[in-house]
């Protein structure tokens, strides 16, 4: 298996990334909230300064003058954050005090509703700096002067920006400390949550190689229970597989021991005889016994190939094959054998039938079915090999057939209906069908023999 890193590290990394995103969002929110709070606070100061200056307006000899008190000028002094500018205009918009060229309100600037004053707040540029400006209108009503004087007070944005940045920095600092504490708590929480996995690992490592019992019921979280059940299910299947293999080896040893003992006894009997005719008969019988042993060994090897092919199919190694073409090639290969036994071999297939499978196993299936049918068909009989849509294979013979009561047992390993057989032919066929998820069934033939039908899946 590929090492995909630490689960604990991945959880902490994802959480840290989420916290960083939240901190960025919170920092931006704190900055804008701080800027809004700074604007509210400093706008009130600007308006208070403008009102203080407006209170010092006076008219002398038809001329408006501004007497700026010290309390107002004190707010205009330099500070650590920025600078404040002011301007006083008479009713003809002539400068009577303050800084020149202070920007006027843009057209359409609304009057503020936050304070009971004829004031407008706006942002502008002055002397290459961003400034916040308040424009306050003051009514002048004298016998020889009647109109609106304007007082403008501007402040650079440094103080507001400094306040907003301080709020944002403080927010990020607090959130960073909380995030660090949260990550530490999550580290300990994840470590505690992973302890059942450590106990499960220890329980697995402490086992002997041949110990395939279910895992002990260690205390695990609900999310880990399916893993434990899955491991136990896999272990149970593995144990069943080993038991089948052990049983198969024992059965194979038993099946091989009996004919080998008979062969040895026959040869020993022939050695004690001095009759050449008896020797020839012994050799002939030994050759027949050897042929049966060879056939049995080949069948055992076929079972081993079936298990290997089943793993290939399970791992996605199935190929797209034409069942009609496979049946045609096998029919041509077995035609001489059928002819030698006096049996007619016919193929009924009209169109290609495509399916996914393992070619070696399918050839083994066809070979066993057709060879078994030829072996049980009397001289002059017929064996028919059919390929039907969508994916059905049929092999029908004119032999004695199989009683319905025995049709399930013939797929068991080493089950024989006659002494001459090995009891593995149909067992191999059944294993191949299971590997291909195919359904096999036995039926009465149209002429009284046996019809074997294999239905493959087309998915």
11-166 and 319-455: identical CATH topology: no
Query: Which residues are CB-contacts of 152 (< 8 A; sequence separation ≥ 6)?
Result: 50, 86, 87, 88, 89, 98, 102, 104, 133, 134, 135, 136
The tokens for 36 are 């809004």
DSSP 286-341: HHHHHHHHHHHHHHHHHHHHHHHHHHHHHTT--EEEEHHHHHHHHHHHHHHHHHHT
Q: State how far the alpha carbon of 159 is from the alpha carbons of 18, 34, 36, 80, 104, in Å.
A: 32, 11, 13, 8, 22
The tokens for 375 are 């072996």
The confidence score (pLDDT) of residue 135 equals 92
Give 344-376 pLDDT, tens digit per residue: 999 998 788 898 888 888 888 888 889 888 988
The confidence score (pLDDT) of residue 78 equals 41
The domain 319-455 having CATH identifier 3.30.565.10: the answer here is yes
Query: What span, in angstroms and rounded, lies between the C-alpha atoms of 63 and 95?
Result: 12
The confidence score (pLDDT) of residue 448 equals 80
Segments making up each domain of the chain, as ranges = 11-166, 208-272, 319-455
Per DSSP, 132 falls in state: E
Query: What span, in angstroms and rounded, lies between the C-alpha atoms of 298 and 433?
Result: 19
The tokens for 259 are 């004919």
Among candidates 64, 134, 147, which has minimal Cα distance to 102? Answer: 134
The confidence score (pLDDT) of residue 357 equals 85
The confidence score (pLDDT) of residue 274 equals 73
Predicted TM-score (pTM) of this structure:
0.46
The domain 11-166 having CATH identifier 3.30.450: the answer here is yes
Give 193-213 pLDDT, tens digit per residue: 777 777 777 777 777 666 667
Say how many residues make up the chain. Answer: 459
The confidence score (pLDDT) of residue 292 equals 66
The confidence score (pLDDT) of residue 80 equals 45
Q: What is the pLDDT along the chain (459 residues), one digit of tens a residue?
A: 455 556 677 777 777 888 888 888 887 887 787 777 777 778 888 888 888 888 888 877 777 877 776 666 555 444 445 688 888 888 888 888 888 889 999 999 999 888 888 899 999 999 888 888 999 998 887 777 788 889 998 888 877 777 777 878 888 888 888 888 888 887 887 777 777 777 777 777 777 666 667 766 656 666 667 777 777 777 777 777 777 676 666 666 655 666 677 677 777 777 777 777 777 777 777 777 676 667 666 666 666 666 666 666 666 667 888 999 999 998 899 899 899 999 999 999 878 889 888 888 888 888 888 988 898 889 989 999 999 888 899 999 988 888 887 878 777 776 666 655 566 667 778 888 888 888 988 888 887 888 999 998 876
Instruction: Estimate to the nearest angstrom the gap between the alpha carbon of 137 and the chain centroid.
Output: 69
């Amino acid at each position: 298996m590929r090492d995909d890193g630490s689960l604990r590290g991945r959880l902490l990394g994802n959480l840290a990334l989420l916290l960083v995103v939240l901190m960025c969002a919170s920092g931006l929110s704190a900055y804008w909230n701080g800027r809004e709070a700074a604007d509210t606070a400093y706008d009130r100061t600007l308006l208070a300064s403008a009102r203080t200056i407006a209170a010092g307006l006076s008219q002398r000899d038809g001329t408006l003058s501004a007497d700026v008190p010290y309390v107002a000028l004190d707010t205009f002094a330099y500070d650590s954050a920025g600078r404040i500018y002011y301007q006083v205009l008479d009713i003809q918009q002539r400068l009577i005090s303050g800084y020149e060229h202070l920007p006027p309100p843009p057209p359409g600037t609304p009057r503020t509703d936050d304070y009971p004053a004829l004031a407008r707040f706006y942002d502008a540029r002055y002397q290459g700096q961003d400034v916040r400006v308040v424009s306050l209108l003051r009514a002048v009503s004298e016998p020889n002067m009647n109109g609106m004087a304007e007082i403008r007070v501007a402040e650079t944005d440094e103080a507001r920006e400094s306040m907003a940045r301080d709020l944002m920095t403080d927010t990020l600092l607090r959130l960073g400390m909380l995030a660090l504490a949260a990550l530490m708590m999550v580290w300990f929480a994840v470590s505690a949550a992973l302890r059942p996995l450590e106990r499960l690992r220890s329980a697995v490592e402490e086992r002997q190689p041949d110990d395939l019992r279910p895992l002990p019921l260690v205390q695990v979280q609900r999310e880990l229970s399916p893993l434990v059940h899955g491991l136990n299910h896999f272990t149970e299947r593995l144990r069943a597989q080993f038991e089948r293999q052990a049983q198969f080896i024992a059965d194979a040893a038993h099946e091989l021991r009996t004919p080998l003992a008979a062969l040895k006894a026959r040869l020993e009997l022939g050695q004690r005889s001095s009759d050449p005719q008896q020797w020839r008969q012994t050799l002939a019988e030994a050759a027949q016994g050897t042929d049966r042993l060879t056939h049995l060994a080949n069948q055992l090897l076929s079972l081993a190939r079936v298990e290997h092919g089943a793993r290939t199919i399970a791992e996605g190694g199935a190929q797209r094959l034409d069942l009609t073409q496979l049946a045609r090639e096998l029919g041509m290969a077995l035609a001489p054998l059928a002819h030698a036994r006096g049996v007619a071999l016919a193929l009924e297939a009209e169109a290609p039938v495509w399916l996914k499978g393992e070619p070696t196993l399918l050839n083994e299936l066809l070979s066993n079915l057709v060879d078994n049918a030829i072996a049980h068909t009397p001289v002059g009989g017929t064996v028919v090999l059919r390929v039907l849509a969508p994916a059905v294979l049929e092999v029908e013979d004119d032999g004695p057939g199989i009683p319905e009561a025995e049709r399930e047992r013939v797929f068991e390993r080493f089950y024989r209906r006659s002494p001459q057989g090995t009891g593995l032919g149909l067992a191999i066929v059944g294993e191949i069908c299971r590997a291909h998820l195919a359904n096999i069934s036995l039926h009465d033939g149209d002429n009284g023999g046996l019809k074997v039908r294999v239905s493959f899946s087309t998915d």
